[in-house]
Amino acid sequence: MTAAENVCYTLINVPMDSEPPSEISLKNDLEKGDVKLKTEALKKVIIMILNGEKLPGLLMTIIRFVLPLQDHTIKKLLLVFWEIVPKTTPDGRLLQEMILVCDAYRKDLQHPNEFIRGSTLRFLCKLKEAELLEPLMPAIRACLEHRHSYVRRNAVLAIYTIYRNFEHLIPDAPELIHDFLVNEKDASCKRNAFMMLIHADQDRALDYLSTCIDQVQTFGDILQLVIVELIYKVCHANPSERARFIRCIYNLLQSSSPAVKYEAAGTLVTLSSAPTAIKAAAQCYIDLIIKESDNNVKLIVLDRLVELKEHPSHERVLQDLVMDILRVLSTPDLEVRKKTLQLALDLVSSRNVEELVIVLKKEVIKTNNVTEHEDTDKYRQLLVRTLHSCSVRFPDMAANVIPVLMEFLSDNNEAAAADVLEFVREAIQRFDNLRPLIVEKMLEVFHAIKSVKIYRGALWILGEYCSTKEDIQSVMTEVRRSLGEIPIVESEIKKETGELKPEEEVSVGPAQKLVTEMGTYATQSALSSSRPAKKEEDRPPLRGFLLDGDFFVAASLATTLTKIALRYVSLVQEKKKQNSFIAEAMLLMATILHLGKSSLPKKPITDDDVDRISLCLKVLSECSPLMNDIFNKECRQSLSHMLSAKLEEEKLSQKKESEKRNVTVQPDDPISFMQLTAKNEMSSKEDQFQLSLLAAMGNTQRKEAADPLASKLNKVTQLTGFSDPVYAEAYVHVNQYDIVLDVLVVNQTSDTLQNCTLELATLGDLKLVEKPSPLTLAPHDFANIKANVKVASTENGIIFGNIVYDVSGAASDRNCVVLSDIHIDIMDYIQPASCTDAEFRQMWAEFEWENKVTVNTNIIDLNEYLQHILKSTNMKCLTPEKALSGYCGFMAANLYARSIFGEDALANVSIEKPIHLGPEAPVTGHIRIRAKSQGMALSLGDKINLSQKKTSL
């Protein structure tokens, strides 16, 4: 049996640079030194034994000179020493000296100091020798009646472990603990005793619970948690017991402890699917989210609510609680709000949509009054998108929502305004009855729009949907107001040279009489304000955009003017009015062209914009029916096609979601009756407590794929050769934020290898948590060494190292075997994610690290290559399926993924099929990867390079 296989509960970090002391010097210190010296010597002895040294000569010295001491530090160290020291002879019999140790511990169990009694009882939990424990049993029993709770609760633990390991030593333990539990008052002692009964004698635990089931609410939270666990286990194993205990679980939902409420709600959901139970559990979850201040807790409990919603029969119950769920929006954290809004949107129905919209409108108005915070803008965007989705699904709501949202077109935050604009565009196209309302509101806020992008969109909507003569004239008035005095070039030059007086600029008269508060007259002159400030302030918005050199908005304006002019001609019969309106539109376009060619704007007009404005001028001068059709019908049809395609895609994704959730039952499936189910069949259901424990320990049981290559063996890396004196291989187990290396070390020689140490080093963003301790390996023996590596970010990491050892009896230096490198795959940390086109473009512009990968593959089909890249990089394709379908010899797609550390990775695939090289020619092109960190961009590029070369047809 190697040192590594000895049962030991204590881990001690060992500094390796110091020289190990000799046995004689240690013996001397333990015999003749003072307490301080003895303490240091005892520490050294413990470390040497942990390193594989036997030191049999020191056992009697420690019993004679150290064991009688009453110093607390020495007593604590002795507990560690007796735990790790070998207690048996090579043939398995107990050492004679241990009788003396046993007697010393019997005295410690009767010691007046409760700390010494308690820590001795804890130590006894770790002993595995029945002969040592037998003489101590009366003293352990006596400790159950000690005045101090620390001693009593450790006595219960000691009795439990002894009963579990050596039942013959204390066969009446369950009865003893049951009696103890009935009379005990301390919460921690009751909890330990109840815990023991659950595992040792469940019937007694249930009997006790039955006697005090009405007082459960008065118990401490630690005992309540154990009671919840017991009820879950009992009802899981024996469903007929549910009726007996479900009332108790209901009562525990009212517990003062958040942990108990959370566990009770989770248990209630697994035990009963009755609507009242689901409602009570969901209500409990919602209260927890609102009352708990920790955002992580809020997110975890929200996940539980989302899980509840996944069940079709529970969804209807949750729909009634939508308004309660929306109370969570009072949390300032954006992530919590995002999840809450998504959940509310999933649960919304025609019954509660009106209330939901009222709450969301209030929230939107609140964000307007809040002092600007970076998350306020994002929250406003979330609210706008949620309202947008509600209005699309429930068209009756659109009329209530639109007036509130239109106010935000003049918002400083362009992203929120863009979302509103997108919503308005969809609403005005879909809902004919709302068009007059939307056009009216749009004209009201038009002059206040600050962003050029929003301005362009608003112009397009007005140009496309103004259908009456009055609306068309209103649009022209707004455009003239927004453009200022024309011709622009002349008026600007006059302003620069000072020929145009400020009085002429301002619409009010040269002087204005005002009445002050006291009733006297005050005269205000238009000349009082300074001219440069006036010029900046009074410049109308559209004029400002044009003078800044943004002529794309001018092209948009030209299209709008052409559309409304052509529509005006069809509405008004008078030739004079027709010509007058067209002339005004042409004058505006001409003056903008003139401005673009002059030196006044910061940037000159582009050729594209000149072409567009010239085309619009030509269309207006000719007024041909064909152009009328293109401008006034085709544009709207294109929008209609795009919106219907988008709606179809949404419906398809919703259908897929609902198909996933609907549990399909085959006609020949056997019907399972709960009352007729055998006990062993019931156990096939997963135990939630066991699952949560495994998840916390990072041992989540992943369902292995049917392919044997996807099993654990696929992750085993050979570290040394078969002919090396020490053979080593490692299984790389990736948890969320750390990697566990389970290294198997085999001694292939006929010598004993001492101080066999696995030395590891890391490259990249990896960090070794602890240094594996040295081992002693017998001839042809083997051992497992575990090493933990923390991962801080997503990039390819390398772990390398060697195994060093001494051969016993050899005088040579230490031997060393160099290990192969272990490459950590980035794919373990990357998960597919989705984002909007606008977010993708924004991130694409912000991220500074770009990696361009040239396509080098033997795949000949574009779509097949894209699917292969998606599969090998774990990314998600954001480009819709419709845009990728069809065949044109060229394909461009955007991919997106997020790492578990919250890092974003973007990729743009631009590939083509060189037709001139024949049908068998492979795909060519580039993949551009962008990320915030260099490591992410490079690692993803390496992954693509490796996977595209390995492809076989």
Q: Write out the two tokens for 207.
A: 């009997």
CB atoms closer than 10 angstroms to residue 804 = 18
pLDDT confidence of residue 662: 56
Q: Which of 632, 512, 495 is nearest to 568 (CA)?
A: 632
Q: Are the C-beta atoms of residues 569 and 516 closer than 8 Å to each other?
A: no
Helices (H), 407-551: 414-430, 435-445, 452-465, 469-483, 488-497, 502-505, 531-537, 541-547
Q: Which of 96, 24, 30 is nearest to 64 (CA)?
A: 30
pLDDT confidence of residue 552: 86
Q: What are phi and psi of 441, to 5 degrees?
A: -65, -35
**What distance in Å separates the CA atoms of residue 123 and residue 83, rounded to the nearest whole number?**
8
β pairing state of 849-854 and 924-931: antiparallel
586-625 pLDDT per residue, tens = 888 888 888 888 878 888 888 888 888 888 888 888 777 7
The overall average pLDDT reported for the chain is 78
**What distance in Å separates the CA atoms of residue 109 and residue 118, rounded to the nearest whole number?**
8
Region of 889 on the Ramachandran plot (φ > 0 left; ψ -120 to 50 alpha; else beta): left
User: 113 in helix, strand or coil?
Assistant: coil
**What distance in Å separates the CA atoms of residue 448 and residue 482, rounded to the nearest whole number?**
10
**What distance in Å separates the CA atoms of residue 321 and residue 344, rounded to the nearest whole number?**
9
| Cα-Cα-Cα-Cα dihedral sign, residues 342, 346, 347, 350 | positive
Name residues whose C-beta falls within 8 Å of residue 730's C-beta, 6 or more positions apart in sequence: 716, 717, 719, 741, 742, 743, 744, 822
For tokens 């044109």, what's the residue?
888
In DSSP terms, 728 is beta-bridged to 745
CA–CA–CA angle 644, 647, 652 (5° rounding): 125
pLDDT confidence of residue 794: 67
CB atoms closer than 10 angstroms to residue 633 = 10
pLDDT confidence of residue 77: 86
Flag whether pLDDT at 71 surpasses 80.
yes
Least confident of 152-166, 269-283, 399-413: 399-413
**What distance in Å separates the CA atoms of residue 149 and residue 220, rounded to the nearest whole number?**
15
Flag whether pLDDT at 260 surpasses 60.
yes
Q: Angle formed by the axes of helices 23-32 and 35-50, to 10°?
A: 150
**What distance in Å separates the CA atoms of residue 875 and residue 834, rounded to the nearest whole number?**
9
CA–CA–CA angle 408, 412, 413 (5° rounding): 80
Q: Are the C-beta atoms of residues 715 and 732 closer than 8 Å to each other?
A: yes
Helices (H), 66-186: 72-84, 98-108, 114-124, 130-133, 137-143, 149-165, 173-183
pLDDT confidence of residue 467: 79
Q: What does each C-alpha distance from 127 to 122, 134, 521, 543 come to in angstroms?
A: 10, 11, 101, 88
pLDDT confidence of residue 727: 93
Q: How far, rounded to the nearest angstrom, does the alpha carbon of residue 540 sit from its chain's CA centroid?
A: 46
Q: How far apart are the first and last CA of the chain?
A: 52
Q: Write out the two tokens for 166.
A: 């050596």
For tokens 């005088």, what's the residue?
811
Q: Which of 847, 797, 788 is nearest to 827 (CA)?
A: 797
For tokens 């910061």, what's the residue?
602
Q: Write out the two tokens for 67.
A: 């064991």
Q: Are the C-beta atoms of residues 357 and 397 closer than 8 Å to each other?
A: yes
Flag whether pLDDT at 313 surpasses 80.
no
Flag whether pLDDT at 533 surpasses 50.
no
**What distance in Å separates the CA atoms of residue 66 and residue 27, rounded to the nearest whole number?**
11
HSE-CB for 246 with a 13 A CA cutoff: 18
pLDDT confidence of residue 726: 92
Q: Write out the two tokens for 839.
A: 């977010």
Region of 809 on the Ramachandran plot (φ > 0 left; ψ -120 to 50 alpha; else beta): left
Flag whether pLDDT at 686 surpasses 60.
no
Least confident of 279-293, 360-374, 764-778: 360-374
Q: Write out the two tokens for 650.
A: 């949404």
Which contacts of 402-407 are long-range, i.e. CB under 8 A and separated by 24 or more positions? 402/427, 402/434, 402/437, 402/438, 402/441, 403/437, 403/441, 404/361, 404/364, 404/365, 405/364, 406/438, 406/441, 406/442, 406/444, 406/445, 407/368, 407/445
pLDDT confidence of residue 339: 87
Q: Which of 428, 349, 425 is nearest to 390 (CA)?
A: 349
**What distance in Å separates the CA atoms of residue 944 and residue 126, rounded to the nearest whole number?**
52
Q: Which of 200, 211, 212, 114 is nearest to 161 (CA)?
A: 200
CA–CA–CA angle 860, 864, 869 (5° rounding): 110
CB atoms closer than 10 angstroms to residue 100 = 14
Q: Which of 803, 704, 790, 799 is nearest to 758 (CA)?
A: 803
**What distance in Å separates the CA atoms of residue 407 and residue 442, rounded to the nearest whole number?**
9
| Cα-Cα-Cα-Cα dihedral sign, residues 267, 270, 272, 274 | positive
Q: Are the C-beta atoms of residues 501 and 529 closer than 8 Å to each other?
A: no
* Top-confidence residue, 25 or 511: 25
Which contacts of 429-433 are long-range, i.e. CB under 8 A and separated by 24 or more positions? 429/636, 429/639, 429/640, 429/643, 430/392, 430/395, 430/643, 431/395, 431/398
482-512 pLDDT per residue, tens = 777 777 777 777 777 765 544 444 333 344 4
Q: Which of 506, 511, 482 is nearest to 495 (CA)?
A: 506
**What distance in Å separates the CA atoms of residue 74 and residue 57, rounded to the nearest whole number?**
19
CA–CA–CA angle 412, 418, 421 (5° rounding): 115
* Top-confidence residue, 637 or 139: 139
